[in-house]
């Protein structure tokens, strides 16, 4: 059990380091297409973290929806709107605005880090049980049935809205 | 594993996403930074869900909420990219600083 825990921790830190590096590349990289590809790394890392948290269904959904659909949508968006190929120096705001943004990010990280440490400290998960897909579906289709239906209507509305906005006439 | 490992990871990703939203001027990159933010929130939801699942195995609210957030993120990206395409078609540029028609 201890060996498993050590392995889980090592996996967590390797994946987390990759994710943070990828996320920083997404927000600093000078090439739009590369930013989208770094985003793939971050989203795949998120799916891996879900597996570590024994949440199998959300991990698979993450791969299907984010890596499969949303990234392709982003690549389409880049290809349909990009005027320049390769690196582009016009992706960022001025240096002053970037410094301000970095300051806000660091301050936010400080506040959240402090409150998380204050609130949860060294609290352990204990032995994680696998959260089975059948249980998730039971939960969705009993307790959360109404929100589920509302989400369906929302997706339909978003679909129609996207078609209406993007059609050419 | 500590609960805080995952919560800190979520917080760091959230801050990087906020930096991206504020520092980028290309609308597609702003949408990508919003995706980072939504994913960091999802990590938090699943971590809390796993934490409560240990004490109460019938409670899976964290995962269900994460799934709802994923669905809403998909809708957001669809509509957002359609709006970006429309702005590009009308102005031949997707610089968010140029979109200031409603600025007083």
Q: Give me the pLDDT at residue A128, please.
A: 83
CB contact under 8 A, B43 and A49: yes
Task: Give the whole-angstrom CA distance, residue B59 versus residue A117.
Answer: 25
Contact B19, B39 (CB under 8 A): no
Q: Give me the pLDDT at residue B58, please.
A: 85
CB contact under 8 A, B74 and A65: yes
Assigned CATH for B3-102:
1.10.287.3510
Q: What is the DSSP string of B24-90?
A: B-BHHHHHHHHHHHHHHHHHHHHHHHHHHHHH-TT--HHHHHHHHHHHHHHHHHHHHHHHHHHHHHH
Q: Is residue A109 part of a domain?
A: no
Q: What is the mean pLDDT of chain B?
A: 91
Q: Give me the pLDDT at residue A4, please.
A: 82
Q: Give me the pLDDT at residue B11, please.
A: 95
Give the chain A residue whose CA is nearest to the CA of B40.
A46
Q: Is residue A57 part of a domain?
A: yes
Give the chain A residue whose CA is nearest to the CA of B69.
A151
Q: Give me the pLDDT at residue B1, please.
A: 81
Please write the tens of the pLDDT for every residue from A110-136. 999 999 999 988 888 888 888 889 989
- What CATH number did the domain enclosing A49 receive? 1.20.120.1200
Contact A12, A52 (CB under 8 A): yes
Q: Find residues 91-120 of chain A whose CB sits inside 8 Å of chain B.
A: 91-93, 97-98, 100-102, 104-106, 108-109, 112-113, 116-117, 120
Determine what percent of chain A is predicted with pLDDT higher than 90: 60
Q: Give me the pLDDT at residue A84, please.
A: 66
Residues B91/B95/B101/B102 CA torsion (nearest 10 deg): 150
The pLDDT confidence band at residue B68, using thresholds 50, 70 and 90, is very high
- Shortest CA gap A168–chain B (Å): 9
Q: Is residue A64 part of a domain?
A: yes
Q: Give me the pLDDT at residue B74, please.
A: 92
Structural domain spans, chain B = 3-102
More confident call, A106 vs B92: A106
Which token pair is A58?
A: 């959300």
Contact A136, B64 (CB under 8 A): yes
Q: Is residue A135 part of a domain?
A: no
Which value does ipTM take for this structure? 0.91
Q: Give me the pLDDT at residue A156, please.
A: 95
Interface probe for B, chosen from A11, A26, A83 (most Cβ of B below 10 Å), is A26
- Burial of B3 by CB count in 10 Å (0-12 exposed, 13-18 middle, 19+ buried)? buried
Q: Is residue A118 part of a domain?
A: no
Q: Is residue A144 part of a domain?
A: no
CB contact under 8 A, A112 and B14: yes
Please write the tens of the pLDDT for every residue from B21-61. 999 988 999 999 999 999 999 999 999 999 988 888 888 89
Contact A162, B82 (CB under 8 A): yes
- Parent domain of A13: 2-92
Q: Give me the pLDDT at residue A122, please.
A: 87
User: How many CB pairs below 8 Å do chains A and B form together?
Assistant: 256
Q: Is residue A127 part of a domain?
A: no
pLDDT along chain A (169 residues), means of 10: 85 95 93 91 95 92 92 89 72 88 95 93 84 89 93 94 84
Q: Is residue A169 part of a domain?
A: no
CB contact under 8 A, A12 and B22: no
CB of B72 less than 8 A from some CB of A: yes
Number of domains into which chain A is organized: 1
């Amino acid at each position: 059990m201890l060996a498993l825990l050590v392995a889980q921790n090592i996996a967590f830190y390797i994946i987390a380091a990759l994710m943070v590096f990828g996320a920083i590349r997404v927000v600093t990289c000078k090439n739009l297409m590369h930013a989208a590809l770094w985003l793939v790394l971050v989203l795949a890392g998120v799916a891996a973290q879900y597996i570590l948290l024994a949440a199998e269904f959300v991990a698979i959904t993450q791969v299907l929806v984010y890596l499969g659909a949303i990234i392709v949508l982003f690549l389409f968006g880049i290809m349909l709107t990009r005027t320049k190929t390769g690196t582009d120096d016009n992706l960022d705001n001025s240096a002053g605005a970037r410094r301000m943004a970095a300051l806000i990010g660091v301050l936010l990280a400080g506040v959240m880090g402090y409150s998380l440490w204050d609130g949860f400290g060294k609290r352990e998960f204990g032995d994680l049980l696998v959260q089975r897909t059948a249980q998730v579906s039971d939960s969705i289709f009993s307790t959360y049935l109404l929100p589920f239906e509302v989400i369906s209507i929302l997706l339909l509305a978003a679909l129609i809205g996207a078609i209406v906005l993007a059609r050419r006439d | 594993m500590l609960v805080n490992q995952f919560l800190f990871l979520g917080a760091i990703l959230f801050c990087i996403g906020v930096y991206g939203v504020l520092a980028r001027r290309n609308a597609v990159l702003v949408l990508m930074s919003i995706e980072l933010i939504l994913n960091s929130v999802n990590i938090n939801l699943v971590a809390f869900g796993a934490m409560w699942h240990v004490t109460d195995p019938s409670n899976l609210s964290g995962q269900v909420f994460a799934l709802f957030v994923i669905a809403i993120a998909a809708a957001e990206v669809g509509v957002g990219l359609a709006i970006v395409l429309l702005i590009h078609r009308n102005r031949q540029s997707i610089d968010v600083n140029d979109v200031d028609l409603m600025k007083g």
